[in-house]
Amino acid sequence: MKVLFVTDLHGTTWKYERLLRIAQALRVEAVISGGDMLPKSGDLFDQDKFIVHYLDQHLAQFEAAGIYYLCYLGNDDLRIFSDLFDETCDRYAHVVNLAQRSFKIGDYEFVGMNWVADYPFRLKDWCRMDTPDYVFQEQLGSGLLSTRQGWRELDDWFAYARTLPTLEDELARLVRPADMERAIYVIHMPPYRLGLDKCADGLEVGSKAVYDFLLENQPLLALHGHIHEAPEISGRWYATLGRTICIQPGQLTPLTYVTIDLEPMNFDRHLIFQATRPLGSETRVDDNDDVGLGGCRLRKRGCPKSPVRENCAPEPVLSLPKESVRGEGGQLPSLPRRPLVVKLRQSPS
Ligand SMILES: [Zn+2]
């Protein structure tokens, strides 16, 4: 069985469009989208519009093609849209919201989890303490949770987070697959210590809870995302943890995905650039198309087989707009309903 894993598309429509054509050309049985599916530029409270006016159609195309699509929201996708996302997925027999759920395709069982370990950024909808003894990073401002009425600002995020389950708890709560040797976990948050979590500034921000869980349970595969630049920074997009293979494709300028052939357990990472030919000039994908870039293999910056010379360089790390971090005199500014802070452009995201 062949599946395609992609993550952190953040509403980039050309990537979504290519994804469909590639999945069809490669005849994959399933596409797995590992979270952070909605746009994060602009007003996050408009993400519902993307679900209704874009994602719904995108999913319908996979349904029509008979390709499974297992997906979930990520930490930059507002949690208030979870129900809408769920309802949208439910419209299609082949589309599954995998958040905290499992789904079987053939002999394989996929289990999803999209909570993340806390980070310095303000949007806390999907954040958890990693473990009970988790040490918080210095924060870029007060915590924010999305609500139907706008942002709820948390006076003391650390105290609030301590009342929530930890990532370790969330992992323990997941459905237990019948056979770990045929289980594929889709966990947005990467484990620590494997190079799959390295930010542009060199900081390694992965999860101990995820690492321990995988080491203890030893599923066949674990698919991760979240730190877009990690593979380019660490030079690693996969790692082994005991018998488990962990994959983190990353996601920078090019469409980046990994194809996985489950029977021989073959993996290929692909980087597809938007401008390999004039936009709109393609009507089909065949073996000679850039799908065939397959073999953009490990530890390469850019693809030696690619017709383009551009390298997959890490995007610059942008800092938050100052006013969204701290107001005059170290006080928080009075937050507008939809503050600038939500334009989180830097990693982790
Ligand atoms: Zn993320």
CA 230 to ligand 1 center in whole angstroms = 12
**How far does the centroid of ligand 1 lie from the alpha carbon of residue 349, in Å?**
4
pLDDT(93) > 60: yes
pLDDT confidence of residue 279: 47
| Poorest-pLDDT segment among 28-42, 221-235, 299-313 | 299-313
In this predicted structure, what is the pLDDT of residue 265?
A: 93
> Mean of the pLDDT values across residues 36-43?
95
Considering the domain boundaries, does residue 156 fall inside one? yes
Instruction: List pLDDT tens digits, range 315-332.
Output: 322 222 222 222 222 222
pLDDT category at 286 given cuts 50, 70, 90 is very low
Query: pLDDT confidence of 303, banded at 50, 70, 90?
Result: very low
Q: How far is the CA of 67 from the centre of ligand 1 (A)?
A: 25
Q: What is the mean pLDDT of residues 307-313?
A: 28
Query: Which of the pair, 349 or 261, is modelled with greater confidence?
Result: 261
261 Cα to the center of ligand 1, angstroms: 25
Q: How far is the CA of 35 from the centre of ligand 1 (A)?
A: 7
Share of the chain above pLDDT 70, in %: 79
Q: What distance in angstroms lies between residue 274's CA and the mean position of ligand 1's atoms? A: 22
pLDDT at 145: 98
Residue 115 domain-assigned (yes or no) = yes
- The domain tally of the chain equals 1
CA of 92 to the centre of ligand 1 (A): 25
pLDDT of 18 reads 97
**Cα(207) to centroid(ligand 1), Å:** 13
Using one digit for the tens of pLDDT, what is the confidence trace for 182-228? 999 999 999 999 999 999 999 999 999 999 999 999 999 999 999 99
- Separation of CA 290 and ligand 1 centre (Å): 27
Q: Which of 37-41, 214-218, 280-284 has the lowest mean pLDDT?
A: 280-284
334 Cα: distance to centroid of ligand 1 (angstroms): 27
Between the CA of 247 and the centroid of ligand 1 the distance, in Å, is 15
348 located within any domain? no
The CA 348 to ligand 1 mean position distance, Å, reads: 6
Quick check: 284 pLDDT over 70? Answer: no
CATH number of the domain residue 117 falls in: 3.60.21.10
Q: Measure 328 CA to ligand 1 centroid, in angstroms.
A: 30
92, exposed or middle or buried, with CB in 10 Å at 0-12, 13-18, 19+? middle
- Per the structure, the complete domain to which residue 267 belongs is given by 2-342
Is 332 inside any structural domain? Answer: yes
Tell me whether residue 184 is in a domain: yes
130-167 pLDDT per residue, tens: 999 999 999 999 999 999 999 999 999 999 999 999 99
| Predicted local distance difference test score (pLDDT) of residue 274 | 87
CA of 72 to the centre of ligand 1 (A): 11
Is 300 a member of any domain? yes
322 Cα: distance to centroid of ligand 1 (angstroms): 22
Asked if the model's pLDDT at residue 289 lies above 50, the reply is: no
- Ligand 1 centroid to residue 17 C-alpha, Å: 21
- Pick from 62-66, 84-88, 306-310: least confident: 306-310
pLDDT of 322 = 25
Rounded distance from Cα 282 to ligand 1 centre (Å): 31
Q: Mean pLDDT over all residues of the chain?
A: 83
Q: Predicted confidence band at 98 (pLDDT cuts at 50, 70, 90)? A: very high
Average pLDDT on 250-265 reads 96
Per-residue pLDDT at 310: 27
CA distance 189 to 207: 7
Q: Is residue 349 part of a domain?
A: no
Looking at residues 226-242, what average pLDDT do you find?
96
pLDDT band at 340 (very low <50, low <70, confident <90, very high): very low
- Note whether residue 347 is domain-resident: no
